[in-house]
């Protein structure tokens, strides 16, 4: 965590974004700690500690600060199934740290083989999501897509929709 905290504290972003990013990484550290049966202080980030993951989490935190949503509603999370190769060897999907982060969240395995939800993604969801369910009735204002680089039988993307809830 020291490297990540040092990196985040030196970014030219607001204190709120810094706090959100550090909080998300603390969730990951706690999940990894539980998965490995060691104290949080002994956790060394591998995949999640790379600069691109720090950039992903930071950009997400910056976006959340910018749009400042009243509520974040997410459809059930597709974890994928099968095995994933990581720094600790070959693990089942969802990997143990991801599974720890997904506790209390609505998930399913679907029919796509591979890791569809990473520890980083699960931690971001755990930190920001208020509710799970179908898209609520709303007036759609904006939408955004994030494309992954792994090949799956379906599009490897995530979509976010910003809208104003309609009155019943």
Mean pLDDT of 62-81: 96
- Taking only the tens place, the pLDDT of each residue in 130-168 is 999 999 999 999 999 999 889 999 889 999 999 998 876
8 has a pLDDT exceeding 70: yes
- Taking only the tens place, the pLDDT of each residue in 82-131 is 999 987 789 999 999 999 999 999 999 999 999 999 999 999 999 999 99
Residue 27: the pLDDT is 98
Residue 49: the pLDDT is 56
The answer to whether the beta carbons of residues 50 and 87 sit under 8 Å apart is no
Residue 47: the pLDDT is 58
Residue 1: the pLDDT is 82
Q: How many CA atoms lie within 13 A of 109 on its CB side?
A: 10
**Phi, psi values for residue 29, rounded to 5°:** -60, -40
Mean pLDDT of 76-87: 93
Q: Of the ranges 22-26, 48-52, 81-85, which one carries the lowest mean pLDDT score?
A: 48-52
**C-alpha closest to that of 21 among 52, 67, 49, 58:** 58
The answer to whether the beta carbons of residues 135 and 76 sit under 8 Å apart is no
DSSP letters for 18-82: HHHHHHHHHHHHHHHHHHHTS-GGG---SGGGSHHHHHHHHHHHHHHHHH--S--EEPPEE--BS
**What is the domain range of residue 134?**
2-165
Number of domains in the chain: 1
Residue 45: the pLDDT is 75
Three-state SS for 153?
A: coil
């Amino acid at each position: 965590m020291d490297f990540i905290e040092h990196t985040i504290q030196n970014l030219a972003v607001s204190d709120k974004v810094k706090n959100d990013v550090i909080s998300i990484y603390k969730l990951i550290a706690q999940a990894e700690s539980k998965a490995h049966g060691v104290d949080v202080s002994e956790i060394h980030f591998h995949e999640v500690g790379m600069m691109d993951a720090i950039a992903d989490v930071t950009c997400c935190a910056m976006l959340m600060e910018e749009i400042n949503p009243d509520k974040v509603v997410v459809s059930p999370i597709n974890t994928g199934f099968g095995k994933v190769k990581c720094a600790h060897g070959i693990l089942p999907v969802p990997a143990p740290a991801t599974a720890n982060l997904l506790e209390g969240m609505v998930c399913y395995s679907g029919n796509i083989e591979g890791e569809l939800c990473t520890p980083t993604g699960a931690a971001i969801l755990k930190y920001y999501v208020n509710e799970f369910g179908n898209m609520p009735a709303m007036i759609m204002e904006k939408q955004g897509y994030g494309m992954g680089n792994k090949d799956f039988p379906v599009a490897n993307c995530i979509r976010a929709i910003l809208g104003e809830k309609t009155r019943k």
